[in-house]
Structure 1
Amino acid sequence: MATVFLCLSNQFSSPKPTTPRFSQSKNFMYQTSLANPNPWQVICAMSSQFTQMTQHNGRRSANYQQSHWKFEFLQCLGNDVKHVQMENLEERARKVEEEVRRMINGADTEALRLLELIDEIQRLGLTYKFEKDIFKALEKTISLDENEKHISGLHATALSFRLLRQHGFEVSQDVFKRFKDKEGGFINELKGDMQGLLSLYEASYLGFEGETLLDEARAYSITHLKNNLKVGVNTEVKEQVSHALELPYHRGLNRLEARWFLEKYEPNESHHHILLELAKIDFNLVQVMYQKELRELSRWWSEMGLTSKLKFVRDRLMEVYFWVLGMAPRPQFSECRKAVTKTFALIGIIDDVYDVYGTLDELQLFTDAIERWDVNAMNTLPDYMKLCYLAVYNTVNDTCYSTLKAKGHNNMSYLTKSWCELCKAFLQEAKWSNNKIVPTFSKYLENASVSSSGLVRSSSNIFRLCNDLATSAAELETGETANSITCYMHEKDTSEEQAREELTNLIDAEWKKMNREFVSNSTLPKAFKEIAINMARVSHCMYQYEDGLGRPGYTTENKIKLLLIDPVPIN
């Protein structure tokens, strides 16, 4: 269903996003930080680390924990807006934006300082406001000769390399050859250069397949960054390095990274006051837009009533919206976010029907009904499936109507085909589990794969692999036999530890394919490519430490709180 999102993103996007007004909420008393998080109480139905399976009336139930995010709470988000105050802030933001634009386009700014300014803008989540200016500035740095660039050091070279590749420029890994010695290793002088090593580390994650120099750069930088941390560095550098080693910037969720960087940028004495001011205002204004979308979506979800009628399914609207937001954070994708949140929320329900509750005969009937795409097909289904079928049928039809009305595109055949393919894939996994069959690793991935561009296929594979790394133990408890880890262990006769290591290597390989595709494929719109890569990023975010969709714990809730509930303090 990944391609559903990408299709809708082009057709729901608006070139002129409207920015909502924002006011500080008096209700949000708890300030959360990525660096110093405040855990809050989670009501959980799990009696162990993973959900326990139970039987009721001959049916299985996964006993999923209830949603922490109540309807009444979501309806209150962003409701205390002070219009007059925010009109002044919006006007201030427009003026500051022009000042930042002049900074980027300054004729006398040296190349390294310009690159560092672009990096700060990007890390603060403001790239979407200055894309044309950034592109021109990067073109300018390419045209300069080495004497004019003043970027002979490792930090400058690595920063330039990373920014150019992130923005789609062709740049060779050979720029790092001059930092190698005669024996082929990196020169000794680099070992203590923390800024250079950190920039090299971040740049190495922009590598393509076959770029062994960047593979060596990653291993070298990780080794010496960790060694230097053991020896001792100042607190600011330690926080930056530790955060990067946890997950490189290129694989991090952009909006979450912006929130983290905001907290670290302000205490830095060399920060740009104007840039910081704009970043704070923009973060809060956009957050209120997200809150408005959540209020609308929670009303739709409540009216749908599936989680109250079907006790065996997950209620994960907030987590699904967070996922979708991670894929398409730009303000102009508001309609896209709402449409795809509805789609993904329903996918979660249908996934639970296939994984947990439905019999094989019922699942076959449901798959056939989806393939027919006829409202009368629901008459063949048991009552609980009629609710599911009609929810999917009506939501897809409403989405197609909205797209046709707004953009003149008819998506019906595409979306119904996608739902049919999804249900067939779910059915195949259900057959494997019911018959206690462990398929080959390649067959398992093929069943879960997406028929689309290489970029989307790689991103979808990363999602599948990250998901399995986080959920395999819980899935075994529910009786599922097919996931990446078990299939690989069974086929290769290896340990779980070896299987996990191989899956991690496969994730790296898919990232390299995506990096190449992003730079070399000029036929795909940039927004399309960005959303595809963001799906891989949100997969890392949601599954790095827990199953953030199926069994969200404190880590996921903390991230949601930072992006969707707690505003950035503004003096």
Structure 2
Amino acid sequence: MALSTGSTFLCMNRPSFFLPVFHPSAKTFLSATKVVRPLNCIPSSVIYEPEVSRRRANYKPNIWDHDLLQSLRSDYQVSHSSIKTSLSLPKINRPLNCLPSSVIYEPEVSRRRANYKPNIWDHDLIQSLRSDYQDEAYAKRAEKLKEDVKHCMLQEAANPLAQLELIDPIQRLGMGHIFDKEIKGALNIIWEGHNKNDNKGGLGIIMISMLLLSSLGSSENMGIITFTCTYLKAIKESVDIMLANKLGHALELPLHWRTQRLEALWYLNIYENEENMNPTLLELAKLDFNMVQATHQRDLRKASSWWSSLGLGGKLSFSRDRITECFFLALGVMFEPQFGYPRVELAKVCQLITTIDDIYDVFGSLDELECFTDAVDRWDIKSIDRLPEYMKICFLAIYNTTNQMGYEILKDQGINIIPYLQKAVEKVRGDAPSSIDCYMKEANFVSEMDARNHIKDLIFDSWKKLNEEARTASPYPPHFINCALNLARVVHCIYQHGDGHTVQDRSTKDRLTSLLAQPIPLVVE
């Protein structure tokens, strides 16, 4: 899919978050099936090595395995505080002589400050997140419920309308990936039956309506969409509370623009009060949400441990410490539990880009930024000698993290992705003026309201292009296309009502808490 079609929208507020980096590096994401031959995306310059006769030394396996080493503990540990008390050293008020004589003392530079608020999600809080839903008993119960739902779908095979009424909540509750095979099979059967019996009953009308609603990208349907929205707004006040809630939700933002995980959480409360609610499906939806949340907590702990050990948050106090918000972006791109590795890696990339953004946007002087840009372009560890201390730390963090990602993918997939990651880092050049400010100046200083309406039109046009590209034949895997769409969705979610990445307001905090910290209560019968 041509990702550039969505670039207008994705770069609307924070251009640094357009990250078309993870197609080659999505370790688990792109390895659902074993690849016996080289992928088409591998450059033609790949050299296939001939088989070589190798000697074998037949070394014995290591008797000190990792688990044994990790189990070594002693009761004779002494706390660091007692050591400091007994061996306290005199306070030194001058530089130590062990510093090399070549140390260059940098002249003081006038710096800007963005005054970002401290991160409310500190490392200890994140590490304390635990869930009981990793227990095997819950997994067994979930498997039983899945079989019951599949049985319901088979029972309704003779009633296509009933099948559609079951498939729709399955997808909206965020469980489409669980029943993907069954849903595709059922829809194919319904569609074939519709073609054979087009003139019988109202099912054909329902199917056509679904197709029209999903084909937002066609300009011929704009009149239908406008008419539908106008009609729904008119009747919103005259319907019951439940339906009015649904209408307001749909009119605020179309379903296919919404982040899937947040939509599933919202729809759970709606579906629980539906007259035709399926109790088995509802229980499975709640249980699955909590089990997936437990997986997300584990992934977030990994991302936070990486960020804490990296030390950039403490060294670069001017920069935003937003690893939890970065993880939310990664979660929005791929929430499915099997994509834990690319989810954590994408969160790392997002946090590093946030740091680079602040260096360019807030702290760095022009001369420093030119040196930093040159160091990234060269991608040579020796080029950091000319950088100030804070830039050396940042460059080494980027360099080491990128190479570590490349090593993991090369080890598991046999593909060298470091050149792709390097090019992606080179494209990051800090933030740009807001699109609204740019348009106000370009259009002879039109009003802010006119500029906002113009940007909304551009967003709408970008979504049409994304939808058109998603429906056309593409050389990319379907999961990758879905991730590209999800990236647009989660960025829209983050910046819909302001800068949800930088400003940790009540709505951002509540959103992250509900997704990552609060399980849904299960009704025990």
1:454-503 per-residue CA deviation (whole Å, 9 max, x = no partner) reads xxxxxxxxxxxxxxxxxxxxxxxxxx7x3311221212212221111111
Contact map agreement 1:77 1:291 (CA 8 A) in 2: yes
- Which whole-Å CA distance do the structure 1 matches of 2:267 and 2:132 have between them? 26
Task: Determine whether 1:207 maps to 2:216.
Answer: yes
1:531-568 per-residue CA deviation (whole Å, 9 max, x = no partner) reads 00001100121111121112131111111111111101
Equivalent residue for 1:547, pick from 476, 488, 499: 499
Give the share of equivalent positions with the same residue, in percent: 39
Could you tell me the TM-score, scaled by structure 2's length? Answer: 0.78
1:178-234 per-residue CA deviation (whole Å, 9 max, x = no partner) reads xxxxxxxxxxxxxxxxxxxxxxxxx26x4124x32x21122111111111123x211
Q: By how many angstroms is 1:6 displaced?
A: 3.2
Equivalent residue for 2:434, pick from 460, 483, 508: 483
Contact map agreement 1:61 1:356 (CA 8 A) in 2: yes
Equivalent position of 1:224 in the other structure: 231
1:113-512 equivalences under 5 Å are 113-144=162-193, 145-147=197-199, 150-151=202-203, 157-158=208-209, 160-161=210-211, 173=212, 203=213, 206-209=215-218, 211-212=219-220, 214-230=221-237, 232-423=238-429, 426=430, 482-493=433-444, 494-512=446-464
Which amino acid is the alignment partner of residue 208 of structure 1?
G
Equivalent position of 1:62 in the other structure: 114
- Which whole-Å CA distance do the structure 1 matches of 2:207 and 2:278 have between them? 19
Equivalent position of 2:80 in the other structure: none
Give the number of aligned pairs: 428
Equivalent position of 1:88 in the other structure: 137
1:38-49 equivalences under 5 Å are none
Stretch of structure 1 that moved more, 111-120 or 122-131: 111-120
Stretch of structure 1 that moved more, 284-293 or 140-149: 140-149
Instruction: Note closer, same or farther for the CA distance 1:115–1:148 as it changes in structure 2 (3 Å cut).
Output: farther
Instruction: Note closer, same or farther for the CA distance 1:244–1:420 as it changes in structure 2 (3 Å cut).
Output: same
- Which whole-Å CA distance do the structure 1 matches of 2:200 and 2:187 have between them? 14
- Which whole-Å CA distance do the structure 2 matches of 1:358 and 1:330 have between them? 38
The alignment partner of 1:136 has SS state of: helix
Equivalent position of 1:20 in the other structure: none
Which amino acid is the alignment partner of residue 502 of structure 2?
G
1:518-529 equivalences under 5 Å are 518-529=470-481
Equivalent position of 1:111 in the other structure: 160
- Which whole-Å CA distance do the structure 2 matches of 1:262 and 1:98 have between them? 20
The alignment partner of 1:422 has SS state of: coil
- Which whole-Å CA distance do the structure 1 matches of 2:25 and 2:201 have between them? 42
- Which whole-Å CA distance do the structure 2 matches of 1:57 and 1:368 have between them? 20
Instruction: Note closer, same or farther for the CA distance 1:553–1:149 as it changes in structure 2 (3 Å cut).
Output: farther
- Which whole-Å CA distance do the structure 2 matches of 1:116 and 1:302 have between them? 47
The alignment partner of 2:112 has SS state of: strand
Equivalent position of 1:76 in the other structure: 128
The alignment partner of 2:359 has SS state of: helix
Instruction: Note closer, same or farther for the CA distance 1:263–1:82 as it changes in structure 2 (3 Å cut).
Output: closer
Instruction: Note closer, same or farther for the CA distance 1:341–1:122 as it changes in structure 2 (3 Å cut).
Output: same
Contact map agreement 1:252 1:541 (CA 8 A) in 2: yes
Which amino acid is the alignment partner of residue 305 of structure 1?
G
Q: By how many angstroms is 1:109 displaced?
A: 3.5
Which amino acid is the alignment partner of residue 563 of structure 1?
L
Contact map agreement 1:326 1:534 (CA 8 A) in 2: yes
Contact map agreement 2:160 2:190 (CA 8 A) in 1: yes
Equivalent position of 1:31 in the other structure: none
- Which whole-Å CA distance do the structure 2 matches of 1:245 and 1:291 have between them? 32
Contact map agreement 1:287 1:564 (CA 8 A) in 2: yes
Q: By how many angstroms is 1:403 displaced?
A: 1.1
The alignment partner of 2:502 has SS state of: coil
The alignment partner of 2:404 has SS state of: helix
Structure 2 gap segments, 5+ residues each? 1-17, 34-107
Q: By how many angstroms is 1:314 displaced?
A: 0.5
Which amino acid is the alignment partner of residue 485 of structure 1?
I
Q: Which has the larger radius of gyration?
A: 2
Q: By how many angstroms is 1:107 displaced?
A: 6.0
1:331-375 per-residue CA deviation (whole Å, 9 max, x = no partner) reads 121100111111110000010000011011111100110111111
Contact map agreement 2:333 2:487 (CA 8 A) in 1: yes
- Which whole-Å CA distance do the structure 2 matches of 1:568 and 1:372 have between them? 50
Q: By how many angstroms is 1:522 displaced?
A: 3.3
Which amino acid is the alignment partner of residue 70 of structure 1?
D
Which amino acid is the alignment partner of residue 81 of structure 1?
D
- Which whole-Å CA distance do the structure 1 matches of 2:425 and 2:363 have between them? 19
- Which whole-Å CA distance do the structure 1 matches of 2:358 and 2:492 have between them? 22
- Which whole-Å CA distance do the structure 1 matches of 2:410 and 2:227 have between them? 53
Task: Determine whether 1:562 maps to 2:518.
Answer: no
Q: By how many angstroms is 1:9 displaced?
A: 2.7
